Amino acid sequence: MADGPLLVFGPKSLTYDFGPRHPLSPRRFGPGIELLRAVGAEPGLTPEPATDDELEWLHSPDYIAAVRRFSADPGGPPMAGIGPGDDPAFAGMHEAAATVAGGSIRAMEAILRGDVEHAYQPGGGLHHAMRSRASGFCIYNDVALAIARARRDGLRVLYIDLDVHHGDGVQALHYSDPGVMTISFHESGRSLFPGTGFVGEMGEGTAAGTSVNVPLEPLCGPESWLAAVRAVVPALAAAFGPDVIVSQHGADGHVWDPLAHLSLTTTAIGEAARLVDRMAHRYGGGRWFATGGGGYSIYRVVPRVWALTWLAGAHREAPRLLPAEWRACWEGDAARWDDAPLPEGFEDAPGVPSDRSISAAAAERAEKTVLLVRTVLVPALLRVAELRGWRRFDGSVTNPPPSATPAGEAPPARPGEGQAESAVRLLTLADLDSLFVAPRVIAPADPAVAAQILRAAIRDGAVAVGAVSGEWLVGVALAAPASASGPDKGDDVVGVDQLVALGVAPGWRRRGVATAMLRALVAEQNRRGRALIALHTAAERDPIDPLPRARRREVAERLAAGAGLTAAPVPPHLSAADPDARLAVRFPPGTQALSGLPPEI
C-alpha cells in the first residue's frame, strides 16, 4: 500500500442507503473505492457508529431519539426533516448515519494522536445536517463533529467546503465559535439548495469574520472557481493561523453533475485539493482531515474526484489515464444508469466543459464577489501586501516561513515592571533588524511573516509608526498609497494613503497606544501633505481572542475620532455585507476633499 491519507471505509459505510432511486446512492462506493485501490489507497480505518454522547456534541438529544425511532420504524410520520423527499426514513438509518460520524471522529483522533498526518473519508462530508434537523441527504453532521473533536483538544480549525452546495450545517453548528473558520465556495443560494451562503453570513459575536461565503453564479466555470479558491483560502489561512485543516470535497460542482450548474472540471477540483494539502503543511502542522461530499455522476465523476483528493494527500500526481481494467469493469453499469461514456483520463481534457457551459457574465460576477469577500474578510494588510507585491498568498507555492527574523521567541504575556511603557515613533528598516515583532500585533498570525511584510512595506515607501517596549515591537500603524485597481496598473490614487494596519500586542492594549500611533501617523501624513482613509471591516480583529463585533466597531470609531479622522459613508455594497463596517477620512490642511473613493480599499 502506498503512503497516503488514512482511508476511512468499511462494510457499514454501505448501509447509508436512502433507496435505489435516491441521488446519494451507496452504488458510488463500488467504482469509487475500486479506483482508489487502483491508485494505491486501501481502506485503513473501518468506521463504527459514534456514541450518543459524541453525537450530542452538536445534535440535540431529542433529534437523536427521533432518528432512532425512524431507524427502528421507518413508517412513522415525517418530522425533523426526515420523511418523503431528500431524507427519507430507512431501517437502520441511525446506525448508518452514526457510522459516518464515527468514521470522521475516529479519523480526526488518529490525526490528533499523530498516527497519521492526513485522513480521508470519501463517504463523509454530510455538511447540511443541522442540530435538530436532517437536510439535503444528511442526517448527522460528521464533518462538523470532526471539527468539534479537534476543538475539544483546543485546536483552531480551518474548514474549507468545496461542494457545489453551501456548507450550511457546518457553518451553523460553529457560527459563534471564533476558533473555527468556515470557508464555503458554492453555487449561489439564489439558484441552488440550500438557499443560503451569502457574503453577509459572517459569524456572530466574537466569531464575526470567521464564517466566509463565496457564492458563485451558475456556469462560472473552472477558471473562475479556482481563481476564487486561490484568492480567498491562502490569505485567510495566513490571517487565521489554524492548527488543523478540515475540508469537504464534493464532486457535484462538475459540469457533468446532474444536480448543479457550476461547470467545473476534475482538473480544477484536483488542483483545489492540492492547494488544501499545501495549506495543511504550511499552516496546520500537516494535520488534514478530508471528506467527500455530494456528487451524483457516480461513474464518470465521483470516482475520479475521490482518487484525486486522496492523491493530493499522498503528494502524488495523478496518472494520465484511468486504468483500462477499471473502465472495463464499470462501463456497463455506467451505461445502465445513464452516466456514460466513461472518460479516459483522471483529469478532464480541454473542451470539458464546452464553451456553452461557461458564461462570461458569471465569471465577471465571480471576480466582483471575490473582491467583496476579500475586502470585508481578509485583513487589509494581507490584501495590500499582495497588491503591492510585499508577499503573495495565492497558494501556488508553499511559502516557507522566513527564518532570519528575531520573532521566534514569545514576548512576556504581560509587560513586567518597568516594561509597561512603550515609546511611539516612526519605524525604519534598521528598527526591524533590532526589534522582535510581538505576536498578535498585526496580521498575519505568524509574527515572523508579519515582520517580513513590514520590512517589505517600509522598503516600498509605506509609512510605519511603531510602539516599542524594550526589544519588542508591541504596536504598529501602517499607511500605504491607496490603490484604484492594483499597483500593476500604476493607478494609485494621487495624494491618498490608506490605513493598512493598526494593532497592539495583547499585554499593551487599553493604554492609549493605538491612539498615540494613529495620531503620529496622521501628523506624518499632514507633513507629507497626503490624505488618509481608513476602512474598518470584520476582517480586522485579533484572531485568537477577538472582541464582539459591535465592540470592535466602537473601538475603531473611537480611535478614528481620537486621531482627527471624520466618519464617511461606507459604500453600499460593503455595508450590505458588513453592517458594522466603518470608513473614516482625514485630509491634510488646505487640501480638497476627494470626489470618489478608490474601490480597492
Q: Which residues are catalytic?
A: 128
Whichever of 254 and 282 has its CB closer to Zn ion, that residue is: 282
Q: Provide the minimum distance between the beta carbon of 238 and Zn ion in the complex, in angstroms, as a whole number.
A: 18
For residue 454, what is its C-alpha cell?
513590514
Q: Provide the minimum distance between the beta carbon of 1 and Zn ion in the complex, in angstroms, as a whole number.
A: 17
Exposure of 548 by Cβ count < 10 A (0-12 exposed, 13-18 middle, 19+ buried)? middle
State which of positions 518-537 bind Zn ion (CB under 5 A).
Answer: none
How far is Cα 177 from Cα 207, in angstroms, rounded to an integer? 5
SS (HEC) of 147-194: HHHHHHCCCCEEEEECCCCCCHHHHHHCCCCCCEEEEEEEECCCCCCC
The region of 167-175, 208-216, 269-277, 400-408 touching Zn ion under the rule CB under 5 A is 269-277
Q: How many residues does the chain have?
A: 601
**Cell 519605524, residue located:** 427
Whichever of 286 and 495 has its CB closer to Zn ion, that residue is: 286
Whichever of 310 and 472 has its CB closer to Zn ion, that residue is: 310
Cβ–Cβ < 8 Å for 45, 106: yes
Q: Which residue is nearest to Zn ion (CB)?
A: 277
Q: Provide the minimum distance between the beta carbon of 4 and Zn ion in the complex, in angstroms, as a whole number.
A: 9
The region of 250-258, 272-280, 322-330, 457-465 touching Zn ion under the rule CB under 5 A is 272-280
Cβ–Cβ < 8 Å for 586, 540: no
Whichever of 252 and 277 has its CB closer to Zn ion, that residue is: 277
Residues that bind Zn ion (rule: CB under 5 A) add up to a total of 1
Whichever of 87 and 277 has its CB closer to Zn ion, that residue is: 277
Whichever of 277 and 347 has its CB closer to Zn ion, that residue is: 277
φ, ψ for residue 239, nearest 5 deg:
-75, -40
State which of positions 273-292 bind Zn ion (CB under 5 A).
Answer: 277
Q: Provide the minimum distance between the beta carbon of 310 and Zn ion in the complex, in angstroms, as a whole number.
A: 11
Whichever of 36 and 450 has its CB closer to Zn ion, that residue is: 36
How far is Cα 308 from Cα 271, in angstroms, rounded to an integer? 9
311 binds Zn ion (CB under 5 A): no
In DSSP notation, 292-336 reads ------TTTTHHHHHHHHHHHHTT-PPPSB--HHHHHHHHHHHHH
Q: Provide the minimum distance between the beta carbon of 287 and Zn ion in the complex, in angstroms, as a whole number.
A: 10
Q: Provide the minimum distance between the beta carbon of 313 and Zn ion in the complex, in angstroms, as a whole number.
A: 5
Exposure of 11 by Cβ count < 10 A (0-12 exposed, 13-18 middle, 19+ buried)? exposed
Q: Which of 96, 266, 221, 242 is nearest to 160 (CA)?
A: 242
**Cell 459524541, residue located:** 54
The region of 71-79, 270-278, 348-356, 585-593 touching Zn ion under the rule CB under 5 A is 270-278
For residue 73, what is its C-alpha cell?
420504524
State which of positions 231-250 bind Zn ion (CB under 5 A).
Answer: none
Contact footprint for Zn ion (CB under 5 A): 277
